[in-house]
Amino acid sequence: MVKDKIILKNETGLHARPASELAKLAASFKSTVKLNVNGKTVDAKSILAIMAAGIKYNTEIEIECDGEDEEKALSEIIKGFNNNFSE
């Protein structure tokens, strides 16, 4: 299992579009992808779970990947966050 932290820089939070980009990306890996945020754990492959978590601008998110492609999953997802999911 690997994990890392980032701070959300999408000004409007994880809205439908970035949430769907994130879920799509997470679902492309075999590993499980979880977000630990505000004391909750969210399945990053579920757009609904991501949106329902209501993650706002400047929130700290811990990304946790577990599985055979965990390293690649973690680095790609962090790249996605750094690009603000092309918002």
Piece of the chain touching other proteins by CB under 8 A; list 7-15, 33-41, 61-69, 76-84: 7-15
Name the residue among 74, 83, 76 with its Cα closest to residue 1.
74
Asked if 15 is an active-site residue, the reply is yes
Task: Report the chain's C-alpha Rg in angstroms.
Answer: 11
What stretch of H or E contains 79? helix 70-82
Backbone angles phi, psi at 11, to 5 degrees: -60, -30
Instruction: Mark 32-71 with x for binding to other proteins (rule: CB under 8 A) and - for no binding.
Output: -----------x-xxxxx-xx-x-----------------
Binding site for other proteins (CB under 8 A): 12-13, 15-17, 19-20, 23-24, 43, 45-49, 51-52, 54
Catalytic sites, residue numbers: 15
